[in-house]
Amino acid sequence: MTGKPIIQAFFDEPTNTISYLVADPATGHAAVIDPVLDYEHSAGEVDTRSVETILKAAADAGFTIVWTLETHAHADHLSGSPYIKAKTGAKIGIGEHIKDVQRIFRPVFNADDLKTDGSDFDHLFADGESFRIGELEARVLYTPGHTPADITYLIEGTGFVGDTLFMPDYGTARADFPGGDAHALFRSIKKLMTLPPDTRLFMCHDYKAPGRDQYAWETTVAEQRATNVHVKEGVAEDDFVAMRTARDAKLSTPRLLLPAVQVNIRAGRFPPADANGVRYLTIPVKLKGGAEAGA
């Protein structure tokens, strides 16, 4: 351990996402984790207010943002990482299995321009890989399940878990997206549970749990082990998978899934503009019932 990171959280209520600014007090070097681009789906409008808030916080503190880190390709918000990169020169990092997610979704969107080698990102992290944010030591744990590419960033021993865990009173994230796997999710969570009990864990989302009226995003390994309503100690893998599968079957498709995924697998960039100079998102249409006959 070289020092304690300075951690600032930024909550985006429209998408229930928590982004983080994590800085090294010694050098002022910092990383942003899971930044959100403001996207108004009904109007097709994109804005950078949320990212500007993080950039301003970093500027006010005299931090230099050197990384913008994604825990996975999100299905609920569009990534603000390209804007952070454009403004600061920070490198965009994600887990190396993003290539699998790109391969899965390229045909879904018929995205001929989409590279499936991860090269739209600046760095692909492998399981166990170490890197630095200034003098802070960071390490990557591969924690698939919610998607095939999820990673957890351990920065000086503090975990940024993405959607591998939610707060103990809310449980876990869905595992039914293409390439998701409830068995893998359970094993990834168990991997996190082997970290020291006092390890601080920061969530990527919070929706409040029944009986809780405040948003929350910080917990510990000990709290997760003792009280997580889905995966506390003693819950067997098969029971978790049965619960998760039944629950996922009842969940509706996230509102921003299709826009978010096609942007986020391009490292947060939009598809190239058409000849008229306008960028369009693609919505694949499934014709059900008698709809095919009328199409």
Instruction: By CB under 5 A, name the binding residues for Fe ion.
Output: 74, 163
User: Which residue, 134 or 145, has its beta carbon nearer to Fe ion?
Assistant: 145
User: Which residue, 16 or 53, has its beta carbon nearer to Fe ion?
Assistant: 16
Smallest distance from Fe ion to CB 43, Å: 24
User: Which residue, 5 or 180, has its beta carbon nearer to Fe ion?
Assistant: 180
Contacts of 46 (CB under 8 A, 6+ apart): 37, 38, 39, 40, 78, 270
Q: How far apart are CA 47 and CA 116, in angstroms?
A: 27
Smallest distance from Fe ion to CB 37, Å: 15
User: Which residue, 74 or 244, has its beta carbon nearer to Fe ion?
Assistant: 74
Smallest distance from Fe ion to CB 146, Å: 6
Smallest distance from Fe ion to CB 210, Å: 21
Smallest distance from Fe ion to CB 174, Å: 8
Smallest distance from Fe ion to CB 151, Å: 12
User: Which residue, 3 or 254, has its beta carbon nearer to Fe ion?
Assistant: 254
Helix/strand/coil (H/E/C) assignment for every residue in 90-152: CEEEEECCHHHHHHHHHHHCCCCCCCCCCCCCCEEECCCCEEEECCEEEEEEECCCCCCCCEE
Beginning with the edge strand found earlier in the chain, give each strand of the sheet holding 45-47 in spatial order: 45-47, 36-40, 78-79
User: Which residue, 73 or 195, has its beta carbon nearer to Fe ion?
Assistant: 73
The residue sitting closest to Fe ion, measured at its beta carbon, is 163
